[in-house]
Amino acid sequence: MPGILICNLNPYSSEPFGTDDIPTVDEYADQVDKFKNCPENMTCLRKPEQIIRMMKSNAGYFQFIGPHNARRLTNTLEESILLCTVIIDDGITTLAEPCDEIVEITKTINENFLECLDISVPTEQSNFMLTGM
């Protein structure tokens, strides 16, 4: 089944989520900064900058909150795609059809790209050439 994957590399809002149990991206970054800074009167393990960068990345935040909470914080499919039209070109005629009549769209979550939309064309529709979306 032919398809494409579109990923949102910034799917989390910096605004409070309305949940006390999940920190925002900014709150998480502040926690990481506190972790890397060590008061003079304490013996701390200095973390290499590479580890700190990884911890402050989207993937680090995803690992911190876990996949269940990531799903809770990302957009719904309806919020991610406000309007979708598929342009179909069979070599003779060009048509514009609503996406839900032509393609299947599913939302996936992963630690590298966080929120992704998997857009696939069912086999019975794949004899058309999609020229735009």
How much is the pLDDT for 12?
61
Span 108-128, mean pLDDT? 75
pLDDT at 126: 57
- In this prediction, what percent of the chain has a pLDDT beyond 90? 0
Are 9 and 57 contacting, i.e. CB atoms less than 8 angstroms apart?
A: no
CB neighbour burial string for 81-104, b if at least 16 within 10 angstroms, e if fewer:
beebebebeeeeeeeeeeeeebbe
Mean pLDDT of the chain: 75
pLDDT of residue 33: 79
Q: Tell me, yes or no, if the pTM score tops 0.85.
A: no
Q: According to DSSP H, which parts of the chain are helical?
A: 25-36, 49-55, 58-73, 77-80, 99-102
Q: How confident is the model at residue 107 (pLDDT cuts 50, 70, 90)?
A: confident
pLDDT tens-digit profile of 31-73? Answer: 887 766 666 655 555 556 777 777 878 788 888 888 888 877 7
